[in-house]
Amino acid sequence: MTMTRLPLTIWAFFITAILGVLSFPVLLSAAVLLLMDRGFGTSFYMSDIVTSSGALDATGGSPILYEHLFWFLGHPEVYIILLPALGMTSEIISTCSRKPIFGYRAMIGSMLAIGFLSFIVWGHHMFLTGMNPFLGGVFTFTTLLIAIPSAVKAFNFITTIWRGNVMMTPAMLFCIGAVSAFISGGVTGIILADSALDISQHDTYFVVGHFHIVMGMTAILGMFAGIYHYFPKLYGRMMNMRMGMAHFWVTIVCGYGVFLPMHFLGEGGLPRRYYENTNFPMFDHFLDLNILISIFASVGVLAQVIFFFNFFYSIFRGPKASQNPWNANSLEWTTPVEHVHGNWIGEIPTVYRWPYDYSKPGKEKDFVPQNIPLDDNEEEH
Ligand SMILES: [Cu+2]
């Protein structure tokens, strides 16, 4: 199989792996330096620290260094969580719209661009650490650049669905939810990426609302989409559709119900990371909104009970799945329902085409799996 015949899910996993290999060692190094500071008398992070027993030996270090090292992992980590969800979303949206994915190469290019840029934006978490305003401007610029590949992906998701013969499976609903969260959470990122605007929003609930929608909701909705879509492949049985739909609608409404109001709390100046704010009367009028958030959060958690019941019940009692229940093209759906050693009985299939030949003109069926050879006069995508 050539790289341009790989499903976008696999591309996403591949790029995620590269990000992981490059970013986690930095966190490990940061932790080693921390251990040295705590246990072996070095001063990477400590400087001029005076305790009741006098000044510590430690000099010359900087606690800000820890922040730099942490966020050098921390920002790529966002995409380590996000990209697999976006990869599966591409796959499922194409399959369930019965249309080729729009802009296959642009999708790969966008993921590579997001992956590269994710390493040069970490300073946007640190605008208020006393960083040089020029440097803040540089991090603002690189961060805003990420909006371009992100927008390309969002447009490609939408144009793939556009005029498609859409199958509204629970997986497809969760994908649409993931794209919705990716867009609505991404838009507020443009505000936070700007070092000047960030001054008023930093460390408020606005930040909490933003990143839980763009990273948390997108990744979790995408993960659920993947579970509903690949369940028949995993367990040879189908999950219950109606329960899946109910799970989706309660989850998406509660997700937005929890995180959307947080933007207003943040605009009002409510700081994050406090257990309670009862000592600050100026935040008293935010109490109602906080109670509303708690109600949405509780109902949202209850909705997950539907999912867990559906999941475990279907493993044992779900109706038996056919080999390829969604009429999908990618190779995993050509394996037998019963799991066998080596995945396929006999020869490993040859791949002749990309996995997005849906509704191809001149074809009998609206899908052509990857192991079907090209016709004499057929062109590859
Ligand atoms: Cu970041």
- Hey, what are 296's tokens? 């949405």
pLDDT band with cut points at 50, 70 and 90 for residue 149: very high
Integer CA distances (angstroms), 159 to 104, 133, 179, 220, 362, in order: 12, 39, 12, 23, 22
Task: Give me ligand 1 centre to Cα 125, in Å.
Answer: 6
Task: Give me ligand 1 centre to Cα 192, in Å.
Answer: 10
How many beta carbons lie within 10 A of that of residue 199, not counting itself? Answer: 11
Question: Is 145 buried (19+), middle (13-18) or exposed (0-12) by CB count in 10 A?
Answer: middle
* pLDDT 10s digits, 202-252: 999 999 999 999 999 999 999 999 999 999 999 999 999 999 999 999 999
Task: Give me ligand 1 centre to Cα 321, in Å.
Answer: 41
Task: Give me ligand 1 centre to Cα 38, in Å.
Answer: 28
- Hey, what are 377's tokens? 């006069």
- Hey, what are 79's tokens? 């995409």
- Hey, what are 102's tokens? 């729009």
Q: What is the CATH number of domain 3-22+60-276+283-317?
A: 1.20.210.10
- Residue of 314 and 62 predicted with greater confidence: 314
Task: Give me ligand 1 centre to Cα 74, in Å.
Answer: 7
d(CA 30, CA 93): 40
Average pLDDT, the chain: 94
- Hey, what are 264's tokens? 């207003």
Task: Give me ligand 1 centre to Cα 126, in Å.
Answer: 9
In this prediction, residue 38 carries a pLDDT of: 86
Task: Give me ligand 1 centre to Cα 122, in Å.
Answer: 5
DSSP conformation class of 237: B
Q: Are 185 and 215 in contact (CB under 8 A)?
A: yes
Domain residue extents for the chain? 3-22+60-276+283-317
Q: What's the whole-number mean pLDDT along residues 321-349?
A: 92
Q: Are 215 and 81 in contact (CB under 8 A)?
A: yes
Q: What's the whole-number mean pLDDT along residues 346-372?
A: 91
Task: Give me ligand 1 centre to Cα 75, in Å.
Answer: 4
d(CA 60, CA 140): 29
Q: What pTM value is reported for the model?
A: 0.93
d(CA 245, CA 228): 11
Give percent helix, percent strand, percent coil of the chain, each to the nearest 5: 65, 5, 35
* pLDDT 10s digits, 75-126: 999 999 999 999 999 999 999 999 999 999 999 999 999 999 999 999 999 9
* pLDDT 10s digits, 49-68: 666 777 777 677 888 999 99
Task: Give me ligand 1 centre to Cα 206, in Å.
Answer: 14
Question: Is 360 buried (19+), middle (13-18) or exposed (0-12) by CB count in 10 A?
Answer: middle
Cα 344 off chain centre by: 31
Question: Is 133 buried (19+), middle (13-18) or exposed (0-12) by CB count in 10 A?
Answer: exposed
Q: Which residues contact 222 (CB under 8 A, 6 or more apart)?
A: 84, 85, 86, 88, 89, 174, 175, 178
Helix (H, G, I), strand (E, B) or coil at 79: helix
pLDDT for 37 beyond 90:
no
Task: Give me ligand 1 centre to Cα 121, in Å.
Answer: 7
* pLDDT 10s digits, 270-295: 999 998 888 889 999 999 999 999 99
State the amino acid at position 104 in one-letter form: Y
Task: Give me ligand 1 centre to Cα 360, in Å.
Answer: 41
